[in-house]
Amino acid sequence: MKKINIILFIVTLVCSFFAILGELDRGIVIILKDSSIILTASLPYIINKIFKVKLNDGIIFIWLIFIFLAHYMGVTLEFYNKWEGFDKVVHTFSGVVTAYVGMLLLPKGVKNVWFKILFIIAFSAFCAFLWETFEFVCNIFFGGDAQRVEATGVTDTMLDMIVAFIGSILFSVFYFIKEKNKCVI
């Protein structure tokens, strides 16, 4: 898995590098947008180095796939504009990913499965809220309309949060079954 992650990381960096080169004439905001892929893809490795927290290879794999889908394909290749459903697929996947992270952050010693599920869903919903808030703040400071407010009002933002919530519910169903059968994920 570690070798696959390294390959995914390199592919993401190379794609980002070529995206930057292809858009040098489009201004600093576009260059920063494409350059930020490097930072977001590197985040698990930065966390490992700075905080001395060993993230497992499964988390890093999911993170790199998510960054490639959401950031490179969605933003840089403009899949969000080319395929209407792409945004909702990515936000649903983000709900699953953040629910998985929420599961990893469960307080030790908690036995009640319903509390665990509530914690997982709440953590995922909070992450969706933080992301939409981040998009809103970026829209204010840098312009643009990532939340499609002009076209949809709050509908796009709400649907993004709802499908992320659905993703966390799907994960929680899987988690509940795992807990009841005492299987290992």
State the Cα angle at 54 between 48 and 58, rounded to 5°: 105
Q: How far apart are the first and last CA of the chain?
A: 15
Residue 3 burial by Cβ neighbours in a 10 Å radius (0-12, 13-18, 19+): exposed
The one-character DSSP state at 14 is H
State the pTM of this model. Answer: 0.77
* pLDDT tens sequence for the chain (185 residues): 889 988 988 888 888 888 777 776 776 767 777 778 888 888 888 888 888 777 788 888 988 998 888 888 888 888 988 988 999 999 999 999 999 989 988 888 888 999 999 999 999 999 999 988 888 887 778 777 666 667 677 888 889 999 999 999 999 999 999 888 875 55
Rounded distance between C-alpha atoms, residue 144 and residue 151, angstroms: 12
Q: Which amino acid is at 108?
A: K
- For residue 146, give both structure tokens: 């990532």
Specify whether the CB–CB gap between 137 and 148 falls below 8 A.
Answer: no
